[in-house]
Amino acid sequence: MDVNLPLPPAILSGEDWRLQVYEKEHMMACFNKSITHTMGVWKAENALLATLPTFFTQLAIIITFTYVLKRLLKPLCLPRLVADILGGVIMGPSIIGFQNFSLEYIVPFRSIMTLETIANYSLIYYMFLRGLEIDFKPIFHARIKVLSIAIASIVIPAPIGYALHKLLLREAKNTDLHSKPSVYGSLFWGITLATTNFTELAQLLANGKLLHSDIGRTALSITVITDFISWFLLVIAMAAVNDSHLYTMSSTLAFGILCAFVLRPALSWMARHTSIDDNYNEHHIGLALAGALLFGYITDSCGSHSIVGAFMLGVILPKGELKNAIMEKVEYFVSDVMLPLFFVVIGLRTEAHHIKAGISIVLVLAIIVSATLAKVVGTFVAALINQMPLRDSFSLGLLMNTKGVLALIILNSGRDLKVLDNQTFTIMVFSVLVMTAIVGPFMTLLYKSSGPSKQIQCKSIRSIQESNSEFRILVCVHKSQNVSGVINLLEASNPTTESPISVFAVHLVELTSSHASAMLIVHDTCKSTAGGSRGGSGNQKQSHITSAFENFESEMMAPLFKHSLPYLLTPPCTRTFASLAGEKDVTLIIVPFHKQSTLDGGMEDANSYVRVVNKNVLDNAPCSVAVFVDRGLKSILPSPPPPTAATIAATVSPCSSLAGQMTERH
């Protein structure tokens, strides 16, 4: 070695370990390890030093520490990934990992194997959940503009990452540029720069109230395509590093074909023959989680990463009640409890004192800046060529630079395969941190106003009475129970061919980390037919709601709907919801009451977020708003006579009057 690395004094010696090797490529420490502790609690010198107590101590510390960081960084509009990476880096050797107390009680060498094992389990389940959320329809229905920008956002930054890695190794002057780590390490750098994380991006757009804007829909569509290509490139890179790369590629491809054309139809057949009344229970969820481990084992045996198999299973599982049950039971535990352990592993491998080993800090900063700008510039140029506005082009470049867990998985895989050393791994981790951290603040500066980009004229029911213009209604549905009452109300409005009513129906669901796929549906429904199948969260429920509105339209034999039924995520997007009302030039918004009727005729709160949504809609709507109170009493009342013009006017008048009174401020 030409470079002498500084040796942290805390790791020179310890009570149960001894340092063997400490180089830029790796560090080796030998430690005493007891497979089982048989002395018992009362005879042990310190029960907290046992494997299980140490693991739970680490888990509690990282969860608490990451939560505090998230709260501190939230006002800065930084994505969650920034807090996760910072938490891992601080617990690693860069900050406190090589302190005596930390090596003794927090991250002792003897606990690293357990920590990495559980972290790998968390990755398997995390990617399984991401596979459940993925929807490939945007890839097959992508427009030329979206497809060209997606390809440019990969083709341009990937070679730049490859070249930057080569430049770093050449300046370090301690590595053979033709060696295996040099060649394949550059490949992993390039793939890392080409990735964009869909989940982080969707959450970022939701927080910035850009989810339903043109730039948000375009960014999400591009991200689905780039994610798919990044997965494919990762499999190729891991196969290329292995000596038996032909076996790895062929076996992984064969298993993927088996999943797509054999297992997926079989699972769909099983789902169709499962009665709707037969709710999925813990046994079904347990089988799915066990299947994720099995699929991970198969792809790992093929020479690929174990997360590839778990992701495949998530993709081929039927979207519907089973998917919703898995997400509801497992999502929080995996994302907020298990996954932080993976960031600790990343932090333990990130050693800041290795960054400038053999090179100047100026070169390191230049590499980080170049890596950050690579995808921004590539996407920016492609967007301009596709005649997007200057601000939107730059914003799209920033959004495409949003990294996530997949980028860290690629780097960690390169470190496992020993094609990335401590220096190249650490520099790229900090590059990912910088890339993701700058997106939120810059987007806040570019889009300071959370409202629509153009001035929306406020409208009310009285305005259309004076101008005799088209009556447009935006109907909100929170759950399938709201549909029957809304349809009864629309039926009383008596739409006809001569006097049609344009209804824009939206299904509102509460925004959680498990609804990233539902965000995509907002974009995808604009290009799907009303009766087409839709993937993602709540697919089965959405189909029922859509069918109910379509059946009512056909029974009325009148043109009613001008827009398909999308998902709108709330409560963070209620201002965007008001923007939608302005863009569609609606006159009346109908939202369901936050209370529902009980069997004894009373009312009870259905969901707390519905009340928040209704209040925000009333505060931000550019038109009349009506809160629809449905007591569900129609079925027990005698059938009314056929409606006449007078009775219809009398029925609709109270609602119209109330809505008009609520919008006197307009």
Mean pLDDT of 410-423: 90
357 falls within a domain: yes
**Domain end residue (candidates: 390, 415, 446):** 446
* Confidence band, pLDDT 50/70/90 cuts, at residue 523: very low
Judged against a pLDDT cut of 50, whether residue 570 lies above it is answered with: no
As a dihedral over the C-alpha atoms of residue 559, residue 560, residue 563, residue 568, rounded to 10 degrees, the angle is -170
Judged against a pLDDT cut of 80, whether residue 121 lies above it is answered with: yes
* Confidence band, pLDDT 50/70/90 cuts, at residue 636: very low
**Domain end residue (candidates: 416, 446, 476):** 446
Looking at the structure, tell me whether residues 475 and 392 fall in a common domain: no
Query: What is the per-residue pLDDT for 7?
Result: 47
1 falls within a domain: no
Judged against a pLDDT cut of 90, whether residue 395 lies above it is answered with: yes
Higher-confidence residue: 34 or 398?
398
Q: Which residues contact 277 (CB under 8 A, 6 or more apart)?
A: none
Looking at the structure, tell me whether residues 400 and 499 fall in a common domain: no
pTM (predicted TM-score): 0.74
Query: What is the per-residue pLDDT for 304?
Result: 87
* Confidence band, pLDDT 50/70/90 cuts, at residue 86: very high
Residue among 210, 206, 230 nearest 516 (CA): 206
Least confident range of 54-63, 304-313, 373-382, 629-638: 629-638
634: CATH = 3.40.50.620
Query: What is the per-residue pLDDT for 239?
Result: 84
pLDDT tens-digit series, residues 239-250? 888 777 788 889
What gap in Å lies between CA 529 and CA 277, rounded to an integer? Answer: 28
As a dihedral over the C-alpha atoms of residue 104, residue 106, residue 109, residue 114, rounded to 10 degrees, the angle is 140
Contact 380, 439 (CB under 8 A): no
Higher-confidence residue: 255 or 26?
255
Single-letter residue type at 450:
S
Least confident range of 359-363, 392-396, 452-456: 452-456
* Confidence band, pLDDT 50/70/90 cuts, at residue 101: confident
What gap in Å lies between CA 117 and CA 114, rounded to an integer? Answer: 5
Looking at the structure, tell me whether residues 317 and 439 fall in a common domain: yes
Q: Which residues contact 504 (CB under 8 A, 6 or more apart)?
A: 472, 473, 474, 475, 561, 562, 563, 580, 584, 586
Query: What is the per-residue pLDDT for 425?
Result: 93
Query: What is the per-residue pLDDT for 431?
Result: 94
Q: How far is CA 384 from CA 158, 201, 289, 380, 402, in A?
A: 20, 21, 45, 6, 20
Higher-confidence residue: 614 or 26?
614
Coil/strand/helix, residue 257: helix
- Backbone CA torsion sign across 205, 210, 216, 220: positive
Facing residues of 627 across strands?
591
Query: What is the per-residue pLDDT for 382?
Result: 94
Coil/strand/helix, residue 209: coil
Looking at the structure, tell me whether residues 265 and 378 fall in a common domain: yes
Contact 628, 590 (CB under 8 A): yes
pLDDT tens-digit series, residues 278-307? 567 788 889 999 999 999 999 999 988 899
Query: What is the per-residue pLDDT for 445?
Result: 86
Conformational region of residue 9, where left means phi above 0, alpha means psi within -120 to 50, and beta covers everything else = alpha
- Omega of the bond leading into 441 within 30 degrees of 0 (cis): no
Query: What is the per-residue pLDDT for 650?
Result: 37
Looking at the structure, tell me whether residues 436 and 482 fall in a common domain: no
Return the ∠ at Cα 89 (arms to 83 and 93), rounded to 5°. 165
Looking at the structure, tell me whether residues 434 and 514 fall in a common domain: no
Higher-confidence residue: 28 or 341?
341
Least confident range of 199-203, 311-315, 418-422, 630-634: 630-634
Question: What are the phi and psi torsion angles at 519 (to 5°)?
Answer: -60, -35
39 falls within a domain: yes
Judged against a pLDDT cut of 90, whether residue 533 lies above it is answered with: no
Counting residues of the chain whose pLDDT is more than 70, the rounded percentage is 67
Query: What is the per-residue pLDDT for 654?
Result: 38
531 falls within a domain: yes
Q: Which residues contact 475 (CB under 8 A, 6 or more apart)?
A: 486, 490, 503, 504, 505, 506, 590
Counting residues of the chain whose pLDDT is more than 90, the rounded percentage is 25
Query: Count of domains in the chain?
Result: 2
Judged against a pLDDT cut of 70, whether residue 544 lies above it is answered with: no
Q: How far is CA 10 from CA 27, 33, 93, 100, 102, in A?
A: 14, 20, 10, 5, 10
What gap in Å lies between CA 628 and CA 307, rounded to an integer? Answer: 47
Contact 256, 308 (CB under 8 A): no
4 falls within a domain: no
Q: How do strand 501-510 and strand 567-570 relate by DSSP bridges?
A: parallel
- What single string gives the DSSP state of each residue in 280-345? --HHHHHHHHHHHHHHHHHHHHTTS-HHHHHHHHHHHSPSSHHHHHHHHHHHHIIIIIIHHHHHHH
Query: What is the per-residue pLDDT for 263?
Result: 93
The pairs formed by 253-257 with CB atoms below 8 angstroms and a separation of 24 or more are 255/298, 255/299, 255/302, 255/309, 255/312, 256/312
453 falls within a domain: no
Query: What is the per-residue pLDDT for 29?
Result: 65
Looking at the structure, tell me whether residues 42 and 130 fall in a common domain: yes
Judged against a pLDDT cut of 70, whether residue 274 lies above it is answered with: no
Average pLDDT across the chain, whole number: 76
Judged against a pLDDT cut of 60, whether residue 479 lies above it is answered with: yes
Judged against a pLDDT cut of 80, whether residue 88 lies above it is answered with: yes
Mean pLDDT of 254-259: 93
Q: Buried b vs exposed e over 267-289: b needs ≥16 C-beta within 10 Å?
A: beeebeebeeeeebeeebbeebb
Judged against a pLDDT cut of 70, whether residue 53 lies above it is answered with: yes
Query: What is the per-residue pLDDT for 543?
Result: 55
Looking at the structure, tell me whether residues 469 and 563 fall in a common domain: yes
Looking at the structure, tell me whether residues 273 and 328 fall in a common domain: yes
209 falls within a domain: yes
Judged against a pLDDT cut of 70, whether residue 568 lies above it is answered with: no
Q: Which residues contact 644 (CB under 8 A, 6 or more apart)?
A: none
Calculate Rg over the CA atoms of the chain: 28
Q: Which residues contact 168 (CB under 8 A, 6 or more apart)?
A: 359, 363, 367, 423, 424, 427
3 falls within a domain: no
Looking at the structure, tell me whether residues 112 and 258 fall in a common domain: yes
Judged against a pLDDT cut of 90, whether residue 600 lies above it is answered with: no
271: CATH = 1.20.1530.20
Looking at the structure, tell me whether residues 558 and 638 fall in a common domain: yes
Mean pLDDT of 468-482: 76
pLDDT tens-digit series, residues 484-511? 788 887 777 776 666 677 777 777 765 5
**Domain end residue (candidates: 388, 421, 446):** 446
Q: Which range scores top for mean pLDDT: 99-108, 127-136, 432-441, 501-510?
A: 432-441
Mean pLDDT of 405-410: 93
Q: Which range scores top for mean pLDDT: 30-44, 153-167, 195-209, 522-536?
A: 153-167
Query: What is the per-residue pLDDT for 125?
Result: 95
Q: Which two tokens stand for residue 620?
A: 């931000």
What gap in Å lies between CA 454 and CA 473, rounded to an integer? Answer: 21
Domain that holds residue 425: 9-446
Looking at the structure, tell me whether residues 371 and 478 fall in a common domain: no
What gap in Å lies between CA 433 and CA 404, rounded to an integer? Answer: 9
What gap in Å lies between CA 101 and CA 107, rounded to an integer? Answer: 9
